Amino acid sequence: MCLAIPLQLIEINGKTAVGEAMGMRREIRVDFIENPKIGDYVIVHAGFAIERLPEQQALDDLEAWGEVRDALG
């Protein structure tokens, strides 16, 4: 099972990108995303963006992750 936090693409350089969420930045690959654009939200597995998410779904997921973080203190 994989638990993933949606990352928003903030930099793209060819097939490499930087994604950001909740103050965390990761360098990722975007080989599997057709026409990635800055601002897209993606799910990442093993360093690869594997799916683009609608913005509202990504924001809802990030809100839920924030609730988990706050509950764990």
pLDDT digits (tens, 9 = 90+) for 2-56: 678 899 999 999 999 999 999 999 999 999 999 999 999 999 999 999 999 999 9
Q: Which of 33, 24, 35, 34 is nearest to 43 (CA)?
A: 33
In a domain? residue 1 = no
Residues of the domain holding 57: 7-72
DSSP state at residue 35: S
Answer yes or no: is pLDDT of 71 > 90: yes
The residue-averaged pLDDT of 63-70 equals 91
In a domain? residue 29 = yes
3-state secondary structure at position 11: strand
Give the total number of structural domains in the chain. 1
In a domain? residue 2 = no
What stretches of 1-73 adopt beta strand conformation (E)?
7-13, 16-21, 24-29, 41-45, 48-53
Overall pTM surpassing 0.95 (yes/no): no
